[in-house]
Structure 1
Amino acid sequence: MIVCPNCNHQNPDAAIQCEACYTPLPAMTTCPNCGASVQTDASFCGQCGSSLEVNAAPATPSYIPPTIAPDLDIPDLPAPDPLIPPDPLVASVPPVASAHAPAINPATSNPAATEPIAPPPLPTPAQGSAASSSKTQLQLQTARLLHVQTNTMIELPANLTVIHIGKPNDRVPPDVDVSGFPNSEIVSRIHADIRVEGDIYYIEDVGSSNGTYINNTPLPQGNRHRLRPGDRVALGKGDKVSFLFQMS
């Protein structure tokens, strides 16, 4: 009889699953000593106590020796070509006059074969600084104001970060004096400032009486406008004192 491990129901020896709970039943074998029915995974017989390990399958060896490949008939390789020895180094030793050989006169020998070739001269620091300064000058941008009414060009100072525009006064002398242009009476003595930040130019009105106009649009006091090439700057109303901003 096979006892169900789940419900302990006794089943016939040929049963595969339990008749009561349908649990798969363990496989059975016969004890080689007493002939009693025992489970195949049992280590000892329940009737006679004999060890059942002899019926277990031999353990698979963990190490499998590698198979040795049969001998292959490998043909002999041809011998390599002999190495070519390098040319011996010949040191340039000046000839020594002996009693049997005449001395060599350097004046009559070939100067091209004996005189070393001088390397090209390196640039002096003065030349290097001059080259760098010339490159720096080429990279500098210049800004100008073109007076529209008289076609007069005014170069903006390159060494100032704040350029004052107006007419002569005792408080802030102008860097761009417009007193000599027609209708300059509408321009305040302290009219506008151009501020330079790197290569960017800004203009702002600093409290003029008649205002500053950028492209015919009034510029509020305290605000600033980034100037771009072609912008038209009018000092005062009526577009009577106007300039075109240019860069090169």
Structure 2
Amino acid sequence: MIVCPNCNHQNPDGAQACEACYTPLPATTACPNCGAPVQTDATFCGQCGTNLKPSNPLEVEASAAPGPLPSIPDLMNPDPLVAPDPLEVSSPPSIPSPDIPDPVPVQATVVNEPPTSGSSAESSSEPSSRSTGASGAAMPGSSKTQLQQQSARLLHTQTDTMIELPSQLSVIHIGKPNDQIPPDIDVSGFPNSEIVSRIHADIRVEGDAYYIEDVGSSNGTYVNHNPLPSGNRHRLRTGDRISLGKGDKVTFLFQVS
């Protein structure tokens, strides 16, 4: 039996999804010691307690090998390297510097001229233009990057009705009103809804990916006119055609923006 990690329902061996809540079940394997079914990620067998994941294969092999481990001989010290002879570098001959006479100091004469009306106006207007330019210039990095949130929706082709998928849900139930799992997308108001089961299909959101799976409907779920086996899921892409039931009577187009 496989116990559901979500609702603790006991499912038969080999089941892929829980019969009660339709949660995907973990894969199982047989214990190499007693043959009891255990999960593939289990560390110990629940029946006989066998360690299913040895910590280090080398340690297991060493423990299984009889006799003491062979000793490693001491390594011989290598002979010291011969130091190379130092290189003799001869200094380049000195070149006498030429005699350069000292520079003669030159006294600058400053002439004060009264500013003209044009120059005063220009000088008075220059700081204001600079300050204006500094305040009006857009500083790099001042604008904040706005993250666009991905939204998905279903277009009902028979009535041209757009249905937005809830962005806050990770599992979106599609079907008709019932007492077990109320649908997040109710199709009871659409034409030919009698072919849709009350608990028909689920859309699962994982990051920016959307997956659709049939959860045991009576008339099946079809993606791009291909039947979707119960327990399997298909990653939806923009333009995929989803049909609830046979005959392509209740059809939706998946769109992402």
Give the TM-score normalised by the residue count of structure 2. Answer: 0.48
TM-score where L is the length of structure 1: 0.50
